[in-house]
A and B are shown apart, each in its own frame.
Chain A
């Protein structure tokens, strides 16, 4: 005889209807895991997309771009290309000059783009001519104002509305701390998303504002396709002056975005951690529902349901759960993603390039990925329990003891697997060399090994404690024996919690160590008393410069004894763009630079003669050592610079090179100064001196004038901001684990209310019953914590010494502090107590007879 299939489904459905909390909690865990993936995807993709759009918004169809060094290109290059083009009947390249910089309008960073409207229109192509506005008269008026009116700008309608600026209205724009008045003469035609962060002006105006008289930021090129294009490209290469670079626009975009790849990898790893935790929890939930239904399943088997059918049912249940979790996860991820975008773009702005995200990008693959993650996780997690229950003989399924025996056996096997994982992680670190991805893989192996070992550890601890307490309290002994005997239901939840706590401890230690190392480094490096810098967004932006007259006034201010000066720019090299710090060091500043390679006796002499010093990150990334050479594109073309030494520096992780300011000025023809460090004469008060310096700037330029201590605090603030996302994500993973524990414990406690009723009938007081339940869950939390602490330490070591080193080349000293463990402690015990509340309350209040009647 066989059970009809509809009956199986009815049984399945009935079970979930009777246990909605169970289902809901498993769903919450999965939803949170999927949501994390979606949110991280959205946040990173949106900031990338925003950057791409703003790059393409100006002269979209450009195929190539000509760029120069920090001072850009001579504008005569454009006039030469425009007027000197060979006469030809075949399609010819189109050139469009751009002068660009960042500008702050009412607290918001916009990209100031100076264009020549004729060149830009030619770039768009004759067939895509922009639609005429109203009558010819207004077009003419617009042209007059665009060309003639000082400060004439246009921006997208949405941006103007958001900033509260009307057409015709004045606005104050700030560039490198210098304020200018502009007039919004019109709105950008059309409504392309990339336009939202642009403020367009005539190229003449942009040159004037950005102090780039005679210079262009870049020349965009639209090359025709086919042989004509190839010939024109070859010809163009011959005509380029030394110092000019020609690259494909796609390549330029990729290079900029590559800067953030290590950062994105970090985020993705964190989101995978969240999913891993939820996978374990789904395993727990599914195996628990299976265990709960062992009787009905065994009955169905006895009625003739095949293993195949049981397996199918359990897996379809899991798939339904997975799909629902994925769907809800996508919705939640979309909501969380918005908030995460803010955090991600803040970090990107602090460290890499300026981006203003106005649009949420949902990468095409995300939905598939989320669905795959949800379904895959649910199916993978339920496969083992499904096979187990389908494989058990009909009558054995009725006995729980068999199940627990199996769980104990499994736990023992798992701890061997955990050991294998740990060994594999070590081996992976050993053989993978520089791979960041392998570093993360090792990290995940370690986390899995923690999860694998935890159930055995829990059991061993419980039995040990039970033996120790045997004489003292029979209830305590009973409670602990019970924990040891219920591995099938509690083991997984505790494992998930252990893993989340381990990750939390590891990340906390890493972040705290990093922060402490940064602080030490700042103390050592920041030698001057006061730092003055041109404000503005972006790193290495040429428009961030102290006005020469202002600089003179600052240095002449009484109380200033000595100074260091720096110019921070991005220069081209055959190996990609390099952040270059050109420094004039005061005698007191040398001690602030900690050399990690290179002979300290000869380094500075070589530096003065033109050699480079590389930061650890850059040296690591480009695999360079003292004695090697690095080619940089100077104003007169590529030049090989010897590398004198490597220095210790924390920055964006991309790294930078240091060169003498004198050498820089000669090689790049740029006399600007981005920042100065001022050494005060003996007995001068820094606060009073800052007031004097501010007065000396005389309202000509709003400079950032900060004391040594303020700079340090600011740097640490940026650091903290950078790690906000990390914190958010690990709390998310922890929250998922906590939900899992609560759900598992709740289910377990509810399941054994009958046992409790027996105990109550045997004389256990309500308070005693509550204490029993509380003690059990707290014990489980403590066990998770115990497993997590050593694992967290190992993870911290792997993060700092392997992952960060490989991703950024940073050297981070481990700093251990009790505070790093308090979060973990709070989480473990908090989750356990929370999980105990309701069952404890029920255990104390539950009627004795009612629960027993079923027997």
Chain B
């Protein structure tokens, strides 16, 4: 899910030292209207005809000394105009050079990165933001060999066989993941343990009744990661399990939708649960909430709103008074699932604009009456007020 990309990109606009003037007419982007076959590695790469897109890697890590970490490394792409749209140009005065001079800095693609580390033993949650235009190699994405980056933050393939594709040889693909922020440097090798799982209707994920409010959405719920976290200058060997979400589209949320809770949980029996609950202005759960159950054999089963029931068991309030849900009970009777989800640290809020909570969680409960445990990530969007929220961006 994670459509706060829009809001995040708008936040990137805050970097401009400008009060805006009048708006030009919106150009048209490609729309996610119907399912279409996703191909790999093509669909690992960017889709510039769509307005926004993201690569979202979250994971839980353990150091060899038993210390617990969570990490989030996200790349958002945002197109300011469709590739085909003509750009308004002022009329040139007599005696001027029309269209004089070229520049490699001209681009319609903007990239935004979020990197966060949850350090349980130090009770520390730290995040950083990086922004750049998709020009001059400052930031970008490509399918083959797969790579997405902003500056020196990146996720990219390091397989010795560049012709190997993820779909055909998923176990052969190895990525390098790297990012840094004050106090933490993360370098991991990541190996997908399963092929991509298509969410929604064969990869088409509808967010509202509006035809354009949809994305193409797939996940790789199990990615084995291994590497080092350098904390305050000291390297720690870490390993763990990560989750990759890929989503692109040109729409947003419906006018009544203000946010969501997203769960991506990896359970001990090899199964995985992805579920997002959209929230309406009134606080009610939106009918377009949905998810995917991936069984231990890697088989995906779509979930609708009625398949999963979410009870909020506790809350956490940040220093400015924003109140987030902080403990949940998830019930999926059809799957025989009854679990509680508990953040490993209460404060995993990214004080970006807009603010959101994205944190590592522990899972405990039963499946078909037998105890089950797991880990995962939860995302909470739309709690810190709606003025700069996604709905306001459209």
Contacts and interface: CB of A to CB of B under 8 A. Distances in A.
Interface of A: 75-76, 78-79, 82-92, 116-122, 126, 129-130, 132-151, 154, 167-168, 170, 172, 178-190, 200, 202-205, 207-214, 547, 699-702
Nearest to A180: B96
B106 to A, nearest CB: 4
A186 B19 contact: yes
Contact of A185 (B21, B92, B230, B393): B21
B322 to A, nearest CB: 17
A680 B95 CA distance: 27
A83 B95 contact: no
Contacts of B181: 89
Nearest to A83: B151
28 contacts: A87-B187, A88-B185, A89-B232, A89-B233, A117-B15, A126-B129, A129-B15, A130-B17, A135-B387, A135-B388, A136-B11, A138-B20, A142-B21, A143-B13, A146-B18, A147-B110, A148-B88, A148-B108, A149-B90, A150-B88, A168-B22, A178-B97, A178-B100, A183-B90, A186-B20, A204-B103, A208-B100, A213-B104
B19 A189 contact: yes
Nearest to A85: B152
Interface in B1-53: 7, 9-24
Interface string B93-131: 111110111111111101000000000000000000101
A137 B178 CA distance: 33
- Most B C-beta atoms less than 10 A away, residue of A170, A181, A200, A701: A181
- Most A C-beta atoms less than 10 A away, residue of B151, B187, B233, B393: B151
Interface stretch (B132-140, B265-273, B308-316, B326-334): B132-140
A130 B89 contact: no
B24 A207 contact: no
A111 B33 CA distance: 48
A142 B151 contact: no
B20 A145 contact: yes
Contacts of A210: 101
Would you list the 8 A-B pairs with minimal beta carbon distance, nearest first?
A208-B101, A142-B20, A121-B15, A204-B105, A143-B13, A186-B18, A204-B103, A699-B95
B394 interface: yes
B231 interface: yes
Contacts of A202: 105
B151 A85 contact: yes
Contacts of B133: 116, 118, 147
B108 to A, nearest CB: 7
Interface string B71-104: 0000000001100000111111111110111111
A137 B394 contact: yes
B180 A89 contact: yes
Contacts of B162: none
B183 interface: yes
Contacts of B366: none
A189 B88 contact: no
A139 B151 contact: no
B105 A120 contact: no
Contact of B10 (A140, A181, A187, A204): A140
B243 interface: no
Given A138-B20, A139-B14, 13 more contacts: A83-B152, A89-B185, A118-B12, A121-B131, A130-B14, A132-B14, A136-B393, A147-B107, A150-B88, A179-B95, A185-B18, A207-B101, A208-B101
- Most B C-beta atoms less than 10 A away, residue of A78, A119, A143: A143
Given A82-B138, A87-B185, A143 B90 contact: no
Contacts of B184: 89
Nearest to B131: A118
Nearest to B23: A141
Nearest to B91: A181
Given A699-B95, A700-B97, A139 B103 contact: no
Contacts of B138: 79, 82-83
